[in-house]
Amino acid sequence: MSQTITEKILAAHCGKKEVHPGEFIEADVDIVLGNDITAPPAIKEFEKFGIKKVFNKDRIMLVPDHFTPNKDIKSAQQVKEMREFTKKYGITHFFELGCMGVEHALLPEQGLVYPGQLIIGADSHTCTYGALGAFSTGVGSTDMAAGMATGKVWLKVPEQMKFVFKGKFNKWVSGKDLMLYLIGKIGVDGARYRTLEITGPAIDKLSMDSRLSMANMAIEAGGKNGIFIPDEKTKQYVESAWKSHKDTKHGKALYYSSDADAQYMSVTEYDCAEIEPQVAFPHLPENTKPISKVGKVKIDQSFIGSCTNGRIEDLRIAAKVLKGKKRHSDVRLIVIPATQEIWQQANDEGLFDIFMKAGAAISTPTCGPCLGGHMGILAEGERAVATSNRNFVGRMGHPKSEVYLSNAAIAAASAVAGQLASPEDL
């Protein structure tokens, strides 16, 4: 029978020829991931199994990124629990401060996640790795614990939705805008429990950084996974990651694709000519407006970073907009490269010089302000434009603050203008 890429990966991981939407499977996992919020309770649950070994010490990824460098004593305690667990069970991949990064930017960069894998992570944005042609989904801490103990996860095979992007990109549009546009169309539960397979001639032209930022937000449409058919760009990305990280142990990448006559519950086409840079208004990612229709919205802070848009492509775009300009005197501009390597690269390319002259504060990698953790919390009544993925009530601070989601170009331009703006407005 014809199968989608998602169905093929799931079938391959539960020893079946094919799987069907709605079916429950117990699948083998290749990678189990956790962070400094979700791993500590998973460790507590893991200890309840009373076993001496994890399923595979090389396939568990522990990334303390949310509240690091530790913002307070309790957070420090949580990372300490991760460190102790790492030593006790000989976990290979614990990313200490100084070699860490925001998990979903870090693992692809390190060549630790790649096409054909089945990945679970105790972080909702684990769906990011679908950009590489892997099945990757967010789970909770108990699932993470069971995954670490058994190397297995229970899954319901999701229904398949296909989204086809065609046409030419408008200026300043990146993957983020295509995804915000899609979420604006189908809503925050438009793909609940389902797969978003994202494809089409426009996607073929998209960079890996942009694809990663799109897959990252599959969860914002309620999706179980977002997935892209791996192509030559994917292959180059993965092989270059392996080449520059010679110590990374990895298996064979498997490049699946969907059969031409695979079954989808829906197929939707979007014309990129219709898509301007998008801004998602508070308090849901589905509240999108094209930048030309945002009106006058004054902002207090602009945050460029996160697992959605803290990659080198985003920093280059921000630098292009900010070059020779200064932030508005009423705006705090915070730039957080998502990993150490991105930080190094941005530094080498002279981007920091541009950011510093623009009046930005540049931080070491952390999830920080994205989830209202630290490094840029909003006060009552304040507004931020952010390149992150969520604008829920209180997401970046006070319950009466507001978050507007955009790409890096809009966030940079808004910092200069003091209000939501396009680089074309400057």
Partner 1 sequence: MQGKAWKFKDHVDTDLIIPARYLNTHDPLELAKHCMEDADPSFAGKVSKGDIIVAGENFGCGSSREHAPVAIKAAGVSAVVAKSFARIFFRNAINIGLPIVELSATDEINEGDILDIDVENGSLKNVTAGKNYKIEPFPAFMKNIINKGGLVNYVKSKR
Question: Under the rule (CB under 8 A), what is the footprint of partner 1?
Answer: 24, 37-38, 40-41, 44-45, 48-49, 66-67, 71-72, 74-75, 78, 121-124, 126, 138-143, 145-146, 149-150, 154, 188-189, 192-193, 219, 222, 224, 284, 371-373, 390, 392-395, 399
Asked if residue 100 lies in contact with residue 62, where contact means CB atoms within 8 angstroms, the answer is: no
Kindly state the smallest distance separating residue 125's Cβ from partner 1, in Å: 8
Distance CA 405, CA 214 (A): 13
Kindly state the smallest distance separating residue 77's Cβ from partner 1, in Å: 8
> Positive or negative, the Cα torsion across 248, 76, 365, 348?
negative
220 vs 276, beta carbon nearer partner 1: 220
Kindly state the smallest distance separating residue 166's Cβ from partner 1, in Å: 29
139 vs 354, beta carbon nearer partner 1: 139
Asked if residue 383 lies in contact with residue 414, where contact means CB atoms within 8 angstroms, the answer is: no
Distance CA 342, CA 362 (A): 12
282 vs 418, beta carbon nearer partner 1: 282
Kindly state the smallest distance separating residue 341's Cβ from partner 1, in Å: 25
Kindly state the smallest distance separating residue 24's Cβ from partner 1, in Å: 4
For 31, half-sphere exposure in the C-beta direction (CA atoms, 13 angstrom radius) is 34
108 vs 285, beta carbon nearer partner 1: 285
Please give the DSSP secondary-structure letter assigned to residue 425.
G
| Torsion angles phi and psi, residue 410, rounded to 5 | -65, -40
Kindly state the smallest distance separating residue 7's Cβ from partner 1, in Å: 17
Nearest of 292, 334, 297, 289 to residue 315 by alpha carbon: 334
318 vs 403, beta carbon nearer partner 1: 403
Kindly state the smallest distance separating residue 48's Cβ from partner 1, in Å: 5
109 vs 123, beta carbon nearer partner 1: 123
Examine residue 69 and say whether the peptide bond preceding it is cis (omega within 30 degrees of 0). yes
4 vs 75, beta carbon nearer partner 1: 75
Nearest of 129, 413, 419 to residue 277 by alpha carbon: 413
Distance CA 119, CA 129 (A): 8
Instruction: Please name the residue that has the structure tokens 């941005």.
Output: 346
Strand arrangement of the beta sheet that strand 118-122 belongs to: 93-94, 60-63, 31-35, 118-122, 135-138
Examine residue 283 and say whether the peptide bond preceding it is cis (omega within 30 degrees of 0). yes
197 vs 209, beta carbon nearer partner 1: 197
Distance CA 208, CA 425 (A): 28
Calculate the alpha carbon distances from 108 to 132, 216, 388, 393 in Å: 8, 12, 18, 30
Kindly state the smallest distance separating residue 51's Cβ from partner 1, in Å: 8
85 vs 355, beta carbon nearer partner 1: 85
Please give the DSSP secondary-structure letter assigned to residue 67.
S
Kindly state the smallest distance separating residue 222's Cβ from partner 1, in Å: 6
Neighbours of 266 (CB within 10 A): 13
154 vs 424, beta carbon nearer partner 1: 154
Kindly state the smallest distance separating residue 80's Cβ from partner 1, in Å: 12
